[in-house]
Amino acid sequence: MNSADNELEAWLAGEDLFEQNLPDPEQWVAGFDADRQVVVLKIGPFQRLFLRPGKFTKRFFHQLYPLTIETWPYRRQVNLFDDFCTVNIALDLRFQATLNYVQKNPEVLDSINRHIQGLYAAVIEDKINQELHKLADGGWVQKGLAEHEKRIAITVCEVLTQQHIQAEAVCHMTVVFADFPEVRLGKDSVYLHVLKKTFELNEEKNREHQRQQRYNEQQALQAKQQELEHLKQLAEMQRRIQLAEAEAQIQLLQDKEQQLARQLEVERRLHAARMEHEQQLKETSLEIELRSLQELDAKQRLAETQQLTERLAHEAVLADKQTRAEIQRRESARRHWRAAGNLDSDGEEGIENTDV
């Protein structure tokens, strides 16, 4: 009680209640080198990177890349306690690449600082978010934000230093309360403590109201669940009835299927018998037709044979007639010659007789 009274008196006197309680901030020495330059020695396929020495003469196979000290400002605004207060974060970060980092990333040497910002922006964002999550408990209302500022700055520097990037950071956080914009953190800590307690009471009332609301919702949900359970039972009964009807329908369809299968089997056998009978008729018809063709062919060959025989006989008769006619002609010619020969003999004898 006396401590609270003393704190109230000190606050009324205008003293800074945090001044004597804050620990000395840790000093983070980055060790920047404003004249740091990387020399790239390249002869054919051979390449080597090294820092520019104090006495250095540039040759045609040397390329110089300055490693400048880059300033990286980061600004962020966070709303806490249902927008009851707004925390503004201003982080001023300065960094410089080292030879080790350049040797791991020689392909981005000409844009090394942009490469670092693009590569580690998400990591730094994540580290800051981790620290901002710690503000949710409200302890900073009494203790201030100095520790959080220091931890953010050191954490960011540690992230970059672990990657061989020299860095130093300064973080400054300010708070604005929506309903009390004139309250200053660190100067009005007792008042802020009262505000925090009031806010906590209101939060407790809100939580109780939300609990009662959730209870009512749970009761309504249970009633709804009972109604759904009843509907579910009715649906289950309806489903069983439909299932029984479906099974009966399936059995009926199966019976029809078996009957249809038997009918199809009978029709298949009848069709097979009909096809077999038709095949037999076709074979018989083909056999009769073949036999008719054979008989017709035999008759045709017989007629051709008879025609040939008759032609040969006719030709033989003609030949015989020709032979007889030739014989008669020769006989007639011989008689004619004979007759002509006798005539000549008789004439000579008459002449001879006359002369006598």
Per-run averaged pLDDT (10 residues), the chain, 356 residues: 49 43 52 81 81 80 84 86 80 90 88 91 90 77 80 90 90 77 49 58 78 89 87 88 89 89 89 89 87 86 86 86 88 86 55 43
Which CATH number covers residue 81? 3.30.479.30
Number of domains in the chain: 2
From the CA atom positions of the chain, what is the Rg in Å? Answer: 66
Side chain identity, residue 256: K
Interatomic CA distance for residues 329 and 337, integer angstroms: 12
Query: Which pLDDT value is given to residue 350?
Result: 45
* pLDDT value for 27: 57
Q: Are 33 and 215 in contact (CB under 8 A)?
A: no
Q: Indicate whether 38 belongs to any domain.
A: no
* CA–CA distance, 141 with 129 (Å, rounded to integer): 19
Final residue in a domain of this structure, among 158, 187, 216: 187
From 96, 92, 95, select the one nearest 149 (Cα to Cα): 92
The range of the structural domain enclosing residue 307 comes to: 230-330
Instruction: Spell out the residues 6+ positions from residue 33 whose beta carbon is closer than 8 angstroms to its own.
Output: 67, 96
Burial of 21 (0-12, 13-18, 19+ CB in 10 A): exposed
Q: What is the pLDDT of residue 26?
A: 53
Question: Cα–Cα distances in Å, from 173 out to 17, 53, 275?
Answer: 18, 41, 102
Q: Do 71 and 94 meet the contact criterion of CB atoms below 8 Å apart?
A: yes
- Given 154, 187, 220, the domain boundary residue is 187
Please give the Cα distance from 98 to 104 (Å, whole number): 10
178 with 74, same domain? yes
